Amino acid sequence: MESYDSWDEEKTNYNRTPLALLLLHSRKLDHDNPPDGLTVTIDMMTVALVASAVLYMICFRLARHKLKVLHELQPQMTTKKLLILSVLLVSVLRIMTILGVAAMNMANVRAHYSLQPTGRGDKTQDFYDEAMTVLFDLPNCIVVSTYVLLTLVWAECFLEARFHTENSVYWKQRLLILFMIFNTLLYATQLILYACIFFSASHSLVRAILYAAITGISFVAVLLVLCFYVYLNIRFSGFPYRSEEQKASLARVSSVMTLWSFTRVIWGVATLLVYVDNVELLQDTDTPLWSFVVLFVVFFVCEIVPIVILLDYSYYMHILRGRFLPETAAESSQQPQHDDITPQHHPTNGTHHHHHGEADSLLLQRPLQTMDHLLLTSPHSITNNTTTNHSRRVRFLDAPPEEDPILETT
């Protein structure tokens, strides 16, 4: 604490006007009698964090509703249900970490949320900074996993949209195994990085490795998805589509996957620029003015928008206005709507035939207007050319948000 001599010296050197002496006396009283309790400061960084948390809460609510409808349709676990669960986990972790950082920022906790130590010998402070780095980076890892899982859902749509002679069950098993291998490598890399954060003495080296890994993971995931996309299209290029409607529906899923790919590239580039320019997006109230804007824009563009479009594809159609879609809304409204979807009837023996590799389509035999339709019909694979004597009927509830198709077997 400063001594009274310092105040007297400041008083001597201060401009001796009545207002100046009054302000000086007020400062001395505040210094001698600090306010009790916790000082709360709300700055633009806190506002940006709270706004991001609110948007993630909206994503959580949409995902929870989607998961509920999926579970009512099919209780067992599917890739589509796993995709929604992954979105839920991302939303929950983002909400927790963002609100935690905002609360600490409002409470004026001296934390820079970076790998650069704030003082010598302050082990508690160093541990806090390292823990916040880990918690804030963990959801990004799950977002990458969600992106790869979306690719698996797209692959299922791809297999079901074409006539082919491949074994769909075998393909899906291979894809799930590859997804498990990718996830194992992804989370193992994260664990190694987090161990380096807590146990390495060189903060600058760990910071460089961490940002390089985050950037590399995003780029590698996009590159793997691109290679898989090209490979699958080349492999099945000789097989025709089952119908124009299923081709259009697959194009819609592909457009969502393309959007996620672009946002992952943007996230990787943003992370690289943050490291090159030595910018810490999460700091105290001395953060530059543009830092909170960058943080909010990165969250909004790279995570919130893709999640909302994944859960409700109609937003994407409104944004693009049909320019990149196989058909516009006006064209689809002119097409006849069929409520009954029945397998192909053989004219000679009166039996229903399913082609090899055909499933109860994730893409209905009609133009699909929202991502609900792409996620809410559960496929099953048939490995042989057996015949079935059943018909399927799809009915649509009349009012949103309960507009999801309900599959009934009669």
Q: Where are the domains of the chain?
A: 9-38, 44-320
State mean pLDDT over 170-180.
90
Q: Which of 64-78, 280-294, 364-378 shows the lowest mean pLDDT across its residues?
A: 364-378
pLDDT score recorded for residue 124: 63
The token duo for 371 is 């991502």
Give the type of residue at 226: L
Classified as helix, coil or strand, 358 is coil
Number of H helices, E strands in the chain: 13, 5
The pLDDT tens digits for 257-284 are: 999 999 999 999 988 888 787 776 665 4
The model's confidence at residue 168, banded by pLDDT at 50, 70 and 90, is confident
Check: CB of residue 181 under 8 Å from CB of residue 145: no
Angle separating helix axes 203-235 and 168-199, nearest 10 degrees: 170
The token duo for 54 is 């609110």
pLDDT score recorded for residue 1: 46
- Decide if pLDDT at 18 tops 80: no
> Cis omega (within 30 of 0) on the bond before 306?
no
pLDDT score recorded for residue 323: 40
Check: CB of residue 75 under 8 Å from CB of residue 378: no
Q: Which of 69-73, 205-209, 358-362 shows the lowest mean pLDDT across its residues?
A: 358-362
pLDDT score recorded for residue 114: 47
Check: CB of residue 200 under 8 Å from CB of residue 206: yes
Neighbour tally for 250: CB within 10 Å:
24
List own/partner pairs for 226-235 with CB under 8 A and 24 or more apart: 226/261, 228/151, 228/155, 229/151, 229/257, 232/155, 232/158
Which has more confidence, 400 or 172? Answer: 172
The pLDDT tens digits for 34-58 are: 555 555 556 777 788 889 999 999 9
Check: CB of residue 161 under 8 Å from CB of residue 241: yes
pLDDT score recorded for residue 136: 72
Q: Which of 154-163, 284-293, 300-309 shows the lowest mean pLDDT across its residues?
A: 284-293
- Decide if pLDDT at 180 tops 90: yes
Angle separating helix axes 79-106 and 44-73, nearest 10 degrees: 160
276 forms beta bridges with none
pLDDT score recorded for residue 197: 77
Q: From CA 84, how far away is CA 67, in angstroms rounded?
A: 6
pLDDT score recorded for residue 375: 53
pLDDT score recorded for residue 145: 94
Highest-confidence segment of 74-78, 207-211, 259-263 = 259-263
Instruction: Please tell me the pTM assigned to this model.
Output: 0.67
Give the type of residue at 78: T
Rounded alpha-carbon distances, angstroms, from residue 65 to 11, 60, 70, 301, 372:
65, 9, 9, 23, 11
Classified as helix, coil or strand, 2 is coil
Residue among 320, 327, 375, 296 at smallest CA distance from 86: 375
Q: From CA 378, how far away is CA 394, in angstroms rounded?
A: 12
Check residue 342 and report its DSSP letter: -
- Decide if pLDDT at 149 tops 90: yes
pLDDT score recorded for residue 369: 36
The pLDDT tens digits for 305-333 are: 999 999 887 666 555 544 434 443 333 44
Q: From CA 12, how far away is CA 159, in angstroms rounded?
A: 85
> Cis omega (within 30 of 0) on the bond before 139?
no
The model's confidence at residue 143, banded by pLDDT at 50, 70 and 90, is very high
The pLDDT tens digits for 367-397 are: 333 344 445 443 333 333 333 333 333 333 3
Averaged pLDDT score across all residues of the chain: 69
Architecture of the domain defined by 44-320: Up-down Bundle (1.20)
Rounded alpha-carbon distances, angstroms, from residue 262 to 96, 127, 201, 230, 266:
26, 35, 36, 16, 6
